[in-house]
Amino acid sequence: MTSAHTETSGQGREIERVWILRAMPTIPQEAHTEVWQIEQGYLAPIASSETELAALGFPEGRLRRVVEPSGRERFFHTIKSGSGMVRMETEREITGVEFALAWPRTKGRRLVKTRHRVRVGVGAAMRVWEIDQFRDFPLVMVEVELPSEQSACEMPAWIESLVEREVTFDARYRNAALAMSGMPTH
């Protein structure tokens, strides 16, 4: 696989922190950056029994289409559980046909965003900062996945200067909540 897609493949713990930014940062020219176009929708269980759910293949979770810088499209089905900084995640790559068949079930629970994946640091200190600019509402968020809950998280100054607040523990800013309920008001 030639893709730089590094999201969890299979099942595991996802440890991430998330912040709202006041604006899209100016990414330094020397930074290693990939820009992805992402469209994702959230499935709601539609079956009345466990047997029926199993027969559906992927009855809940998130469907995601990623268009990579090369133009290559990839499709994923992901189920996340838990809240806060540490959540369980099961993800598998699916075919474009599987995506197209299930996509109508996400109607009314979708979002579109441009993701800038910026690699910062070297070795064990290297982090991929994912900056998401949402198409349907005025929101820019940045997230970083960490190897452990205790891992250092030194934010680059060009991001830090734009931080409005951390929302790691605010479920209203999870993508699923944004897709289903829109932008929180407060």
pLDDT in tens, the chain (186 residues): 333 333 434 568 899 999 999 999 999 999 999 999 999 999 976 555 445 544 555 557 999 999 999 999 999 999 988 889 999 999 999 999 999 999 999 999 999 999 999 999 888 889 999 999 999 999 999 999 999 999 888 999 999 999 999 999 999 999 999 998 999 987
Angle at 80 between CA 143 and CA 172, to 5 degrees: 60
Other Cβ atoms less than 10 A from the Cβ of 95: the count is 9
* CA 105 to chain CA centroid, nearest Å: 19
Q: How far is CA 16 from CA 3, 27, 57, in A?
A: 22, 21, 28
Tell which CATH classification among 3.40.50.2300, 1.10.4080.10, 3.90.1150.10, 2.40.320.10 matches the domain 10-181. Answer: 2.40.320.10
pLDDT at residue number 153: 87
Task: Provide the token pair at 169.
Answer: 């523990």
Q: What is the pLDDT of residue 48?
A: 52
CB of 167 closer than 8 Å to CB of 141: yes
Radius of gyration of the chain (CA): 17
pLDDT at 47: 52
The ranges assigned to domains in the chain are: 10-181
How far is residue 132 from each of residues 38, 48, 100, 118, measured CA to CA in Å? Answer: 9, 36, 24, 11
CA torsion angle 114 119 120 124 (round to 10): 140
